[in-house]
Copies of this chain bind each other. A is one copy, B any other.
């Protein structure tokens, strides 16, 4: 590793992410930036007005968490294709329309990637007879209101909160829903 290099230099590399050392003018220290593919999160509401969630083990946390369906965009996929794929793989549900609510920086201090937040209303179970649930992911139709969900200790991922806020701020779901109120 050459600390004097002006160009970003890969200092750690895995199949999931890569760390590069970036030089910022006036700072003697390198800034370590983590590069990985973009991320999608889906606010999906069934035709019955239930929010679709997933429960999974998170190694970084050492326990399970309850989240909106989400995942990384793979090479060659569009973000919308990734959102459709994650919703289906993680919950067994499909929807006709995936609306992009907004894009954000999921972890602006370190990660260079973007997060794409989608809304999928009128989600329904797939009719594909070959569909198999993704191992290690438990689909959950959340029975309560968004206000109740946001207070649940297990609903603890900042990225899931952000996706819900995008739908809330645009009036597409309500705190007392998920259904859009009145």
Contact = CB atoms under 8 A, between A and B. Distances in A.
Contacts of A22: 59
A105 interface: yes
B19 A12 contact: yes
A75 interface: no
Interface in A128-176: 146-147, 150-151, 156-159, 161-162, 164-166, 168-169, 175
- Looking at chain A's contact residues, the main secondary structure is mixed
Contacts of A60: 31, 33-34, 105, 107-112
Interface residues of A, number: 50
A157 B104 contact: yes
A156 B105 contact: yes
B151 A169 contact: yes
Interface-central residue, A33, A151, A165, by most chain B CB under 10 Å: A165
A24 interface: yes
Contacts of A151: 102, 169
Given A60-B108, A147-B169, A162-B165, 4 more contacts: A60-B109, A60-B111, A60-B112, A161-B161
12 contacts: A16-B32, A17-B110, A24-B59, A34-B34, A58-B105, A62-B112, A103-B156, A105-B156, A107-B110, A108-B158, A150-B169, A162-B165
